Structure 1
């Protein structure tokens, strides 16, 4: 196992800058997600760590040792690709054993290691099957077993659950996290799925246009985003923009929105984010919180365990996220009063 540190890493392909001066540290034994839209540099960064490509500038260190020019076969890294890249003519056992056979591991030791890896991913009874005889989830587990059987210093996962249906993907999220904790290996995985990153990762790095925009624990980035990009890409957010005045944002219609205490900023224009689930709908008899706006429901979006209401306030659309408890419903065209605390109003920068 190893800690991995990337320092001022840059990589260009012609005029396209895939990575732009990225610095980040992946702690020993941690589970780290690289999250961002297509073309943000996630896979390029993963390939650099693996050794499939080399940076133009910057350094990659494992346990303090510089490896950016070390060939991939000497980095001892396990990798799982989105398409799993299994050998169709080989059995499950032979697929998992491939890395060990290349390393010249003795047959008895090889069998013990392979069976231990298959037992870890709960495929110990399927060693004789071919890939076409397995389900998508089982093939994913074989690829994972093949990656960890060589006892790598670092495990890299390139959208490993992207080919699975939603139900199976949720099951595999739990399994991947269980396996990672059990073996304690430093793991970095690439995903464009926000829910997947929030569910699995200890830390998240948000990438955009080859730059690391924000990095930290999932709950910190979600609850207190520093940037407009983090607020709108990781989950959903209502963005309020106006003039800063004595701890409030003055909207264009003259209404004031109170901002979290201790978040004071300089005068001028300011943007703030409010998560839809932080907004409540209250009746005339119920107490209000720090911020109150009136509006009318224009439409609803039912999503099973929650419903999003789209409320019009003086031409501004405000999204309200409500849990589906089965006891309260709201209709299109209904006039409503919205309220939320000032602590839920988070200033964000434009980055």
Structure 2
């Protein structure tokens, strides 16, 4: 939120630069930055109609009434509220109010659109619908959009690129698939999705745990042997079974005991105790035999699903 407010011009940075299209804007007034912003609470004027709310920025700019009417109708049509311009905000649903706020932000044709957790107040079903709608609108208008969210699934669903912030610093940035499959730190691995973390000493192509068990990693950092390191494995990449089955010389393998199972409809999560560590395994409920609590199990996964990470 602090970064968005600085980009928009509501706050000023103590140091550093903010550039838009190569132009430094940190000292440019708000009204001259051409930034559109949507807040979590929408910040609509309750005493104004939907159309007047959307028209507000154009009116402040001093546009002609005919231009305002045309642009407002175009923006409302884009967010599929073309026939609701005469209503007041209290007569709309949460999703409709969110669309009004979006229309107001884009009607001025901003260079950048800022969205500060705009879907946080919506229920899950409506939030999913609005994710699809926002993506469609963003593609149609072609505006660079910065979207702040604490929802991991929302970040993966909505983005072309993700930036993970920790204590005000950017710890990793890139396409969602890259960040999910190749996290560069334990924080990135566990913040964006679930991950099992193993810690030990680097072997060059993996790590060796304190009990001597070797974990092979097919992707990640290049580390010298002996350096402190960790490996991250996503729960859905691990196979769980009662026994080792057919030997596979390439797969990582650990033995453990099921401590808990959580049923979640299409999938189940198993919690497996191993050497004082609780590991998570997510399996699809597609006819696989249910494993009971207390059951001894074998976990196997590919080195290509294992990411080697330098010690924090």
CA apart distance, 1:227: 0.8
Distance 1:201 1:248, change over 3 A: closer
Aligned to 1:299: 260
Q: Confirm or deny that 1:268 pairs with 2:227.
A: yes
Measured in 2, the distance between the counterparts of 1:96 and 1:68 equals 27
CA apart distance, 1:262: 7.6
Measured in 2, the distance between the counterparts of 1:80 and 1:284 equals 53
Q: Confirm or deny that 1:111 pairs with 2:75.
A: no
Kindly provide the CA deviation profile for residues 193-247 of structure 1, in whole angstroms up to 9, marking residues without a partner as x.
Answer: 1111100000011101111111111100000101111001000111101122353
Measured in 1, the distance between the counterparts of 2:120 and 2:219 equals 41
CA apart distance, 1:347: 1.4
CA apart distance, 1:263: 4.7
Please, what TM-score do these two structures have when normalized by structure 2? 0.95
Query: Quick check: 1:280–1:339 contact (8 Å CA) kept in 2?
Result: yes
Measured in 2, the distance between the counterparts of 1:125 and 1:81 equals 24
Please, what TM-score do these two structures have when normalized by structure 1? 0.85
Query: Quick check: 1:306–1:321 contact (8 Å CA) kept in 2?
Result: yes
Q: Confirm or deny that 1:76 pairs with 2:34.
A: yes
Measured in 2, the distance between the counterparts of 1:90 and 1:111 equals 15
Aligned to 2:237: 278
Measured in 1, the distance between the counterparts of 2:50 and 2:220 equals 57
Give the number of the structure whose residues are more often strand, by fraction: 1
CA apart distance, 1:314: 2.4
Aligned to 1:97: 55
CA apart distance, 1:306: 2.1
Aligned to 1:324: 285
- What stretches of structure 1 of length at least 5 have no aligned partner? 1-42
After TM superposition, list the pairs within 5 Å mapping 1:116-195 onto structure 2.
116-195=74-153
Aligned to 1:45: 3
Aligned to 1:342: 303
Kindly provide the CA deviation profile for residues 222-278 of structure 1, in whole angstroms up to 9, marking residues without a partner as x.
Answer: 001011110010001111011223534221222111121685411222111111111
**Considering only aligned residues, what root-mean-square deviation do their CA atoms show, in Å?**
1.5
| SS of the residue 2:223 aligns to | coil
Please say which of residues 341-350 and 112-121 is displaced more in the overlay: 341-350
Measured in 2, the distance between the counterparts of 1:344 and 1:46 equals 35
Distance 1:303 1:93, change over 3 A: same
| SS of the residue 1:299 aligns to | strand
Q: Confirm or deny that 1:227 pairs with 2:185.
A: yes
Query: Quick check: 2:182–2:220 contact (8 Å CA) kept in 1?
Result: no
Query: Quick check: 1:229–1:350 contact (8 Å CA) kept in 2?
Result: no
1:66 alignment partner, one of 15, 24, 28 = 24
The structure, 1 or 2, with the larger RCO (C-alpha pairs under 8 Å, 6+ apart) is 1
| SS of the residue 1:296 aligns to | strand
2:158 alignment partner, one of 200, 213, 233 = 200
Measured in 1, the distance between the counterparts of 2:204 and 2:24 equals 50
| SS of the residue 1:79 aligns to | strand
| SS of the residue 1:57 aligns to | coil
Aligned to 1:10: none
